[in-house]
């Protein structure tokens, strides 16, 4: 009976009820979609970092990452690479020689990271060829070829087929330099990465650096992120004297971005729900003030305070539960559409690129986040219902009937 009465009371003022239900629906839609949008940004940044910059796992000499000195190479790197490539969890792997050095032209010079790569293996690992916007990939029959970024090209006023000088320290600490011909220009969505990295064939740099036929880095891309911990532990057992780090350990700022991002989304959603809760509380308090005489009469006729409390509680719940399906369905439909089409912020591509993000965002929502969202809505409903119901309990039947 109480539920039936509460349901009728909700629709006594249809205009007010529709406004509250719409506000709840829009607020919930905005909160869920914002969460999905931020998820899309974070996932895209991580996927780009893994597929383009870091891979899932990297192997180095324990001292290498402290100073990036080429003398700290991987002993038996070729055998290690061959062994890793046979692992069933590994999708692709490649050896590299990574050097800190300078790239110079007639217009100036710039500090960069020189990546000596194995062209075929690197293509499988990072799909470097796809990022080329001008020119061609490495030619196995030619030597001293270099791939530079569009940012470096503009900065040093270089172009295809021009020569540039690379300078770095060899394993003995002596300066080594050589001229390389630019065969292509690449561009990724990460501006800072582009500004700091060039690529050469490992065969053209290993003898110059003094570690011929050796590596100082092995990058590993595994088949699924779920296998990351398992793969890393397996590699540590097989190569106990080698430093083996996953992408979170190599770039802790990315892992921090994920955790901070989750917290920010929940805080944002909490603010939206809190604002909605105050709106609902205010509306229900007004409804109680308008029905003071009616509620007083019910108390005078013998309806106990618990039933009054429950009636107001049900009314508030009905308002929230009426708005929730609309907001949830609208949010899920919006996410489903934008997951396929993406949200293009092409006008701000440079701004996004400077932070390593793509200008096209594909929102996504996990089942866990959706469950937490529903839980937050239930908590909001309870919070919103308590205050109006408590106000109704304070009514004095005799005084209420005088109004």
For 234-263, how does the pLDDT look when each residue is reduced to its tens digit (9 = 90+)? 999 999 999 999 998 998 887 777 777 777
349 neighbors 361 (Cβ within 8 angstroms): no
pLDDT value of residue 133: 94
Q: How far apart (Å, rounded) are the C-alpha atoms in residues 183 and 163?
A: 9
CA angle 210/77/136 to nearest 5° reads 75
CA neighbours closer than 13 Å in the CB half-sphere of residue 76: 9
Bridge partners of residue 315, in order along the sequence: none
- The answer to whether the Cα torsion of 340, 343, 349, 352 is positive or negative is negative
The predicted pLDDT at position 292 comes to: 67
User: Is 98:216 a contact under the CB 8 Å cutoff?
Assistant: yes
Give Cα 149 to chain centroid, integer Å: 25
What's residue 197's pLDDT?
95
Parallel, antiparallel or unpaired: strands 217-222 and 175-186? unpaired
pLDDT digits (tens, 9 = 90+) for 74-91: 988 899 999 999 988 999
**Which pLDDT does position 354 carry in this prediction?**
63
- CA-based nearest residue to 372, from 277, 256, 262, 280: 262
Which pairs count as long-range contacts for 223-228, CB under 8 Å and 24+ apart, including other chains?
223/89, 223/90, 223/91, 224/89, 225/50, 225/56, 227/89, 228/56, 228/57
**pLDDT value at position 140?**
84
The DSSP bridge partners found for residue 97 are 116
Beta carbons within 10 angstroms of residue 67's beta carbon: 10
- pLDDT, position 7: 63
Q: What is the pLDDT of residue 169?
A: 92
Write down the pLDDT at residue 200. 96
Positive or negative, the CA dihedral 261, 263, 264, 269 is: positive
Distance separating alpha carbons of residues 378 and 383, to the nearest angstrom: 9
Structure-block tokens of residue 321: 């539960």
Rounded Cα–Cα distance for residues 131 and 118 (Å): 16
Q: pTM higher than 0.85, yes or no?
A: no
pLDDT, mean of each 10-residue run, the chain (403 residues):
66 74 82 85 84 91 89 90 91 94 90 94 92 93 94 92 93 92 93 92 92 92 90 93 92 76 76 78 73 67 70 76 83 90 75 68 84 78 74 60 54
């Amino acid at each position: 009976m109480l539920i039936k009465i509460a349901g009728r009371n909700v629709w006594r003022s249809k205009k007010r009820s529709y406004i509250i239900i719409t506000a709840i629906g829009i607020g919930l839609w905005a909160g869920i979609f914002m969460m999905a949008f931020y998820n899309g940004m974070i996932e895209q940044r991580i996927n780009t970092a893994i597929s383009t910059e870091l891979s899932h796992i990297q192997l180095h000499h324990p001292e290498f990452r402290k100073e990036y000195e080429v003398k700290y190479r991987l002993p038996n790197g070729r055998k290690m690479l061959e062994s890793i490539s046979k692992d069933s969890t590994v999708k692709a792997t490649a050896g590299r020689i990574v050097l800190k050095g300078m790239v110079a032209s007639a217009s100036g010079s710039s500090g960069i990271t020189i990546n000596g790569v194995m062209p075929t293996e690197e293509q499988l690992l990072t799909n470097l060829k796809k990022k080329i916007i001008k020119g061609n990939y490495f030619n196995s029959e030619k030597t001293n070829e270099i791939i530079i970024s569009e940012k470096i090209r503009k900065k040093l006023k270089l172009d295809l087929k021009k020569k540039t000088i690379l300078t770095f320290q060899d394993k003995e600490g002596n300066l080594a330099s050589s001229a390389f011909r630019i065969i292509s220009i690449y561009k990724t969505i990460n501006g800072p990465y582009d500004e700091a990295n060039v690529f050469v064939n490992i065969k053209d740099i290993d003898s110059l650096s003094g570690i011929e036929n050796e590596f100082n880095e092995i990058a590993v891309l595994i088949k699924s992120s779920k296998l990351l911990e398992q793969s890393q532990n397996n590699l540590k057992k097989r190569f106990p004297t080698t430093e083996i780090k996953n992408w979170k350990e190599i770039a802790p700022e990315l892992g921090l971005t994920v955790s901070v991002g989750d917290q920010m989304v929940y805080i944002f959603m909490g603010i939206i729900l809190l604002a909605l809760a105050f709106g609902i509380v205010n509306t229900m308090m007004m409804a109680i003030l308008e029905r003071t005489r009616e509620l007083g009469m019910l108390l005078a006729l013998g309806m106990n305070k618990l039933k009054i409390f429950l009636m107001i509680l049900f009314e508030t719940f009905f308002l929230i539960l009426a708005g929730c399906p609309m907001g949830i369905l609208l949010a899920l439909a919006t996410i489903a559409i934008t997951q396929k089409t993406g949200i293009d912020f092409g006008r701000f591509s440079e701004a996004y690129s400077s932070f390593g993000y793509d200008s096209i965002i594909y929102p996504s929502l996990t089942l866990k986040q959706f469950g937490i969202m529903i839980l937050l809505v239930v908590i909001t409903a309870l919070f919103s219902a308590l205050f109006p119901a408590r106000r109704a309990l304070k009514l004095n039947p005799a005084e209420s009937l005088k109004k």
